[in-house]
Amino acid sequence: IVLKIGSREKGLPPGPPTVPILGNAHIFPTEFPHYKFTEWARQYGGLFSLKIGQDTVVVLTDAAAVKDLMDKRSSTTADRPPSYLGELVTNGLHMALARFTPAWKTERRAAAAILTPQATSQHLPIQRAEATQLLHNILHSPQASLYYNFEPIFTQFARYSISVIYSVLHGRRVPQYETEEITGYIAVMHEWSALLEPGAVPPVDAIPILKRIPERWAKWKRDCKRVRNLQRARYSRLVEETRERMRRNQHNGSFMEDILERQAELGMDDEMTSWFGGTLLEGGTDTTTSYLQSLVLALIAYPEVQKKAHEEIDRMVGEHRMPTLKDLEQMPYIRAIISETHRFRPVAPLGAPHATLATEEYHGYIIPKGTTIFVNMCEFISFKVKQSLFDNPEDFMPERYLLSENGTKPGVDGSDLKSTFPFGFGRRICPGRYLAQNSIDLNVMNLLWAFNLKPDIDTNGNPIPVDTFAYRKGLSTAPLPFKCRITPRTVAKAGIIENEFLETADTFSKFEVGLSPEDKEFVARSRNTLTEAKLLLG
Ligand code: HEM
């Protein structure tokens, strides 16, 4: 019986040969698993299986299977695999990690109620204002020469994403990166992500007896406790701040106001409300930041794409105003860049793992209840694939989206692909996708309108090529820091950014509540400097 553990049961989709007890655990890739999964897909097909001890993992790399199993049969593929860590840290209340439980359903209902396209569009002014500050901050790097290393871009994208979620959700913005509100949050998130890395803690989900190790012998348990306390304190403080603001009648239309007003109707107590806010914050910050970092990386690596985009945006928007979302309708090439960035370097190349709530039969294969399912985006939307649905899949080539709706090569049926794939599937699809897409659309246009993005240069003045494969490990990836040069495209545009930033003061003011003394001082200082500069310039 012991020898049978780890072997592939009859009826499972094919996969790499197993060994007793471990199954395929000894060959399961711990870094960048999407590469290995792509290789295995070549060998075993678009639907293959792995055995991890007694557990089964199915990897889908075939667009039709993804549509059929993840979307059409979403009622049986909407679970998540067990996560003891998720239980320990969030008590099962983290929407993205939670199993298909009543708590998850409650939170999901609440997210669906507040994050509709229409409700999200109400928050466009603050997204636009924050996107303007992003341009302004890039323009005002500490280096007067407007020469940038990676730091300002990476940190400013993070500040943008965090401030947008803080404002939209809790009605209070985060004006600068160097504040505990951001650095404290990021430090805890690093600890939390490190704990979630494969191999960081003993395999408690596969070998449940390990859960019983007493805390004094398990550093990881003490780490989980610390992360839990820090996250819980932050997320409940943010909810309390919103409640307090509402008591003072300082409503500003934030989503959390809506949730707090409907707490009883939605069936959410304070504990759940705090984790709900925390999950949206976590889900919405790193992802948006990573997308924008990949965009800049790709534009630097492919200068000809940037050139064409500059031509289009100059033709449609010109020199005298900043772009608006309406302009995007008239700019097919920029829209193609937006889709191509999702395809070229998906933020989550394996999405987030789903799990089956019941046994499914598909094309003669059995997928047992409790199977973990990964969707490997690389197969159909990314790189390193031989028989791809795309021409030159490894290249950043927005033109493909001008030739067919899903970017597929001539003669290929791309109808199983959906433009929402980068945001996941079925009942688990990203609830923040409308908010995210607005952020992406605004910033892609702004960055292309405002700046030339170029590689760094060496001491001889030669460009240093960027490495488009240098990415951070983890389920949610991002480029590793890279050096580049960002300069305003014209003096007139730099002037418009200054003016527009000054105009943001009105939009920002109602979100500048509950700021720390340092943040208040920062806001006052940056506005004064700008006003003085404007007066000087006449
Ligand atoms: C570029 C931006 C973003 C990308 C690429 C992205 C992508 C994803 C993906 C792939 C998933 C997993 C879906 C699945 O399991 O099938 C997901 C889930 C999730 N995302 Fe996003 N996301 C982005 C922005 C956001 C934003 C702005 C928010 C919040 C406002 C958010 C909140 C969430 C939450 C709460 C979940 C968990 C849903 C659940 O398990 O039920 N995301 N996202």
Q: What is the mean pLDDT of residues 207-223?
A: 89
Atom 1 of ligand 1: nearest residue by CA position:
288
pLDDT in tens, 26-76: 998 888 888 899 889 989 988 999 999 889 999 998 889 999 999 999 999
As to burial, measured by CB atoms within 10 angstroms (0-12 exposed, 13-18 middle, 19+ buried), residue 319 is exposed
Q: From ligand 1's centre to the CA of 44, what distance in Å?
A: 29
**Are 34 and 327 in contact, with CB atoms under 8 Å apart?**
no
List pocket residues of ligand 1, CB cut-off 6 Å: 95-96, 108, 165, 279-280, 283-284, 287-288, 291, 347-348, 351-352, 354, 422-425, 428-432, 435-436
Q: What is the DSSP letter of 17?
A: P
Percent of the chain with pLDDT over 70: 94
242 forms beta bridges with none
Query: What's the CA-to-centroid distance between 351 and ligand 1, angstroms?
Result: 9
Distance of CA 95 from the midpoint of ligand 1 (Å) = 10
Q: Is 22 exposed, middle or buried (0-12, 13-18, 19+ CB in 10 A)?
A: middle
Helices 102-114, 270-301: inter-axial angle, 10-degree rounding: 60
Strand stretches in 271-390, DSSP E:
354-355, 360-362, 365-367, 372-375
The response to whether 430 counts as a known ligand-binding position is yes
Tokens found for residue 254: 């934030």
Q: Which residues contact 208 (CB under 8 A, 6 or more apart)?
A: 84
Q: Would you say 337 and 407 are in contact if contact means Cβ atoms under 8 Å apart?
A: no
Give the separation between CA 111 and CA 96, rounded to whole angstroms. 12
If DSSP codes are grouped into helix, strand and coil, which group holds residue 49? Answer: strand
d(CA 415, CA 55): 33
Q: Which residues contact 437 (CB under 8 A, 6 or more apart)?
A: none
Contact 6, 21 (CB under 8 A): yes
- Ligand 1: atom nearest CA of 427 is 41
Q: Locate tokens 């030159």: which residue?
A: 392
Ligand 1 atom 35: the closest Cα is on which residue?
280
Sequence-distant (6+) residues with CB within 8 A of 101 are 92
Residue 538's pLDDT band (cuts 50, 70, 90): low
How many angstroms separate the CA atoms of 361 and 363, rounded?
7
Q: What's the CA-to-centroid distance between 333 and ligand 1, angstroms?
A: 26
pLDDT of residue 144: 33
Q: What pTM did the predictor assign?
A: 0.94
Mean pLDDT (the chain, rounded):
90
Q: What is the pLDDT of residues 329-370, one digit of tens each?
A: 999 999 999 999 999 999 999 999 999 999 999 999 999 999
Protein residue closest via CA to atom 33 of ligand 1: 283
* DSSP track, 478-503: -BPP--EEEEES-HHHHHHHHHHHHH
CA pair distance 119, 463, nearest whole angstrom:
45
Q: How far is the CA of 450 from the centre of ligand 1 (A)?
A: 29
**Amino acid at the residue 20:** P
Task: Pick from 1-15, 425-439, 470-484 the range whose average pLDDT is largest.
Answer: 425-439
